[in-house]
Structure 1
Amino acid sequence: MRSSWAAFALRRTRRFAVSLWVLVTAAFLMIHLIPGDPVRGALGLTAPVELIRERRAALGLDDPLWTQYLDFLRGLVTGDLGTSMVSNMPVAQTIGERLPETVKLALPAFALVLAAAIPIGLVMAVLTRGGRRRAGELAFTSTSVFLAAIPEFLLAVGLVYAFAVQLPWFPVAGRGGLISYVLPVLALAVAPAAILSRIVRVELLSVLGDDYIRTARAKRLTARLVYLRHALPNALTATLTVAGLTLTAMVVGTVLVENVFAWPGMGSTIVESILQKDYPMVQGVVLVYGAGVLLVNLLVDVLLAVLDPRSAIKEG
């Protein structure tokens, strides 16, 4: 068992390292694959030639490509993500100021997804198992499909119009206390919660037909014990996998939602940087987003292996 865990950890670490290297290399090549001079694009056509030369020299863009790549890797090791072409501020400093705001938005949304999807999926599985309550199953399926199909930015605009313009219950935009979190968190959470609740229901319907559930019922255990202690934990493997993918998708989804609500996070930062052609800033944000996605996937794999050690052994 110990050797299986060691092999599992080695495989996951190797996969993470290779994926991270590919991400870093792709982010480095981003500036060099853009047609034209990125410094000229960021500073504008009217920028003095001398200023362009100074900025290119400061960014090391006149050095050989392999030298720039090594400098880029050394900078990452020391936490240096480069310097903004527009503000001339360190990219790492800007990201350090904006990233916590995105996390403050994504984590409550993810918690809301889990808090809503798991109970709803459990209740619907219990109510509709064995083909019962066809009307309720149809209503749940139709509603969840509809909610899952609404893009985050469209739902965000609808929430603003309904509950900030027509009914002035919440602020239209900006961050101003706990009440300002309600609409953006809902915009991020509704579609993932609808998808995850369907996954929970399907997995529980499969589990509820297993022999050990029938044995638990034959022992006259309470419904609470049967569903919460025996059925739900065994249905969480696929649920956690989808939940991990959902979290990464929600972090990316904050890009559009933050811009709808003028939220001072990473989403608004990357949009502003793209519009200003501030490529080092875009590069840094892409790196942080990509590394976050890879890290979440690694943590989900480890958590699944802890909950179900057989999965680590099977892969060996």
Structure 2
Amino acid sequence: MARWAAGHGPWAGFLARRAVRLAVSLGVLVTASFGMIHLVPGDPVRAALGPTADPALVAARQHALGLDRPLPEQLWAFLTGLARGRLGESITTEMPVAQIIADRLPATVEIAVPAFLAIMLVGIPLGMAAAVLTRDGRRRRGELAFTSITGLIGAIPEFLLAVGLVALFAVAVPVLPVASRGGPSSYVLPIVALAAVPAVVLARIVRVETLKVLGEDYLRTARAKLLPARLLYLRHALPNLLTSSLTLGGLLFTSLIAGTVLIENVFAWPGLGTTIVQAITQKDYPLVQGVVLVYGTAALLITFAVDVAVAVADPRSTIRGS
């Protein structure tokens, strides 16, 4: 691998190293998700069906799930099934786990992706605007208001924020639906609950990074030339913020995956978040295993994509330092 990468240039080496890291991480994730059922104390089938379940029924479900076979055979069956897109069957519903995930995944994507776009489209411009308006010690009151408001919002747990939005916009002033996946208005509260805290956190960090960039000599020279604000901030300042913004954006998008679990349960959203909580409650470990595998794979792929995007934005320092 190293010899091949060396012969195909720095980009090939960078992508090869990242691909190897991704493959190793996926291997660890698959192994951990397989071991989940076997690390749970007791019999997962008995736990799911209850202590009064007929022993014959328990034995039949164990046989159907392959849990009565030796561990190496179970691992091989899991890996071969995974290669064919099969994740086993749910203990409680006896439906294929892959089918359940396929049915629920779109609902999660429909709020996670818009929330991420809202974070980037609000956080970056807001942080840049706050830096421009308060640079060189200007507008002290505006700086205090910005840091106070964003600090207050950023300190609110997402679960508590979601409950507050429900109380305000669905109970006190009933203008938006509180639960289920209906028309366009039903998307507003879940997306706001997911995006509000990360957006203000991103804005605070972007403000600090923008202030550093605005203090660079080349920005001072461009400002002395009386360049239009559009050229000064979008052409000269923004490109130098892309690396840190993309890196933080990827981390925030990864955190949205975990955030959907809480938010979906507050708003009774029929996505993977509510699915995994129900599966844990019902002790449906094959379903928990499948959802965890999907969440983990999504996080690893997002990290890989962010690494590549950062390398495209700043190829010299990123590829050389990788």
TM-score band by shorter chain is over 0.9
The offset of 1:114, in angstroms, is 1.1
Q: Is the 8 A contact 2:177 2:186 kept in 1?
A: yes
Number of the residue aligned with 2:284: 278
By how many angstroms is 1:218 displaced? 2.7
Residue identity opposite 1:212 in structure 2: Y
Q: State the partner residue of 2:310.
A: 304
Q: CA deviation at 1:233?
A: 1.4
Q: Distance in 2 between matches of 1:118 and 1:273?
A: 37
Partners in 2 of 1:215 and 1:208 — Cα distance? Answer: 10
Map 1:53-68; keep pairs closer than 5 Å. Answer: 53-68=59-74
1:25 aligns with 2:31: yes
Find the counterpart in structure 1 of residue 271 from structure 2.
265
Match of 1:215, as an amino acid? T
Deviation at 1:315, TM superposition (A): 2.1
Q: CA deviation at 1:134?
A: 1.9
1:90 to 2:96 alignment: yes
Q: Distance in 2 between matches of 1:256 and 1:36?
A: 28
1:286 alignment partner AA: V
Aligned with 1:130 (options 136, 145, 150): 136
* Post-superposition offset of 1:173: 0.8
Aligned match of 1:165: 171
2:168 is the alignment partner of 1:180: no
1:148 aligns with 2:154: yes
Which amino acid counterpart does residue 66 of structure 1 have in structure 2?
A: P
Alpha-carbon contact 2:193-2:263 (below 8 Å) kept: yes
Aligned residue for 2:3? none
Q: Distance in 2 between matches of 1:125 and 1:229?
A: 16
The match for 2:298 is: 292
Structure 1 residues 312 and 123: alpha-carbon distance in aligned structure 2, compared to 1, 3 A threshold:
closer
Letter in structure 2 aligned against 1:194: V
Structure 2: distance between partners of 1:23 and 1:288: 10
d(CA) in 1 for partners of 2:316, 2:71? 46
Question: Residue 119 of structure 2 contacts residue 196 of structure 2 at CA under 8 Å; is this kept in 1?
Answer: yes
Name 2:232's counterpart in structure 1. 226
What is the CA RMSD across the aligned residues, in angstroms?
1.1
Instruction: Give the AA of the match of 1:274.
Output: I
CA deviation string 1:127-158 (max 9, x = no partner): 11112222211221121111111111111110
The 4+ residue runs of structure 1 with deviation greater than 4 A are: none
Determine helix, strand or coil for the equivalent of 2:92: coil
| Counterpart in the other structure of 2:20 | 14
**In the TM superposition, what are the counterparts of 1:103-118 in structure 2 within 5 Å?**
103-118=109-124
Tell me how far apart the structure 1 counterparts of residues 14 and 40 of structure 2 sit (CA, whole Å). Answer: 39
Higher mean C-alpha deviation, range 120-129 or range 135-144: 135-144
Structure 1 unaligned runs (5+)?
none
CA distance in 2, matches of 1:286, 1:311: 34
Residue by residue over 1:61-102, the C-alpha shift from the partner in whole angstroms, topping out at 9 and shown as x without a partner, is 111111111111111110001100000000000000000100
Equivalent of 2:262, from 252, 256, 261? 256
The answer for the alignment partner of 1:50 in structure 2 is 56
Check conservation: 1:204, 1:235, Cα contact below 8 A: yes
Q: Look up the equivalent residue of 2:99 and give its one-letter code.
A: Q
Matched, 1:240 2:246: yes
Asked if structure 2 preserves the Cα contact closer than 8 Å seen for 1:200 and 1:236, the reply is no
Contact 2:242–2:313 (Cα < 8 Å) also in 1:
no
Structure 1: distance between partners of 2:104 and 2:153: 29
- In the aligned structure 2, how far is the partner of 1:47 from the partner of 1:315? 58
Please state how far the C-alpha of 1:251 moved relative to its aligned partner.
1.7
Structure 2 counterpart of 1:38: 44
* Partner residue in 1 for 2:220: 214
The equivalent of 1:196 in structure 2 is 202
Which region of structure 1 is more displaced relative to structure 2, 275-284 or 206-215?
A: 206-215
C-alpha separation between the residues in 1 aligned to 2:96 and 2:155? Answer: 39
Q: Structure 2 regions of 5+ residues with no counterpart?
A: 1-5
The TM-score normalised by the length of structure 1 is 0.98
Q: Which moved more, 1:277-286 or 1:201-210?
A: 201-210
Between the two proteins, what is the percent identity of the paired residues? 62
Question: What is the aligned length?
Answer: 316
TM-score by length of 2: 0.96
Deviations 1:229-288 (A, max 9, x none): 110111121111010000111121010110111000000000000000000000000000
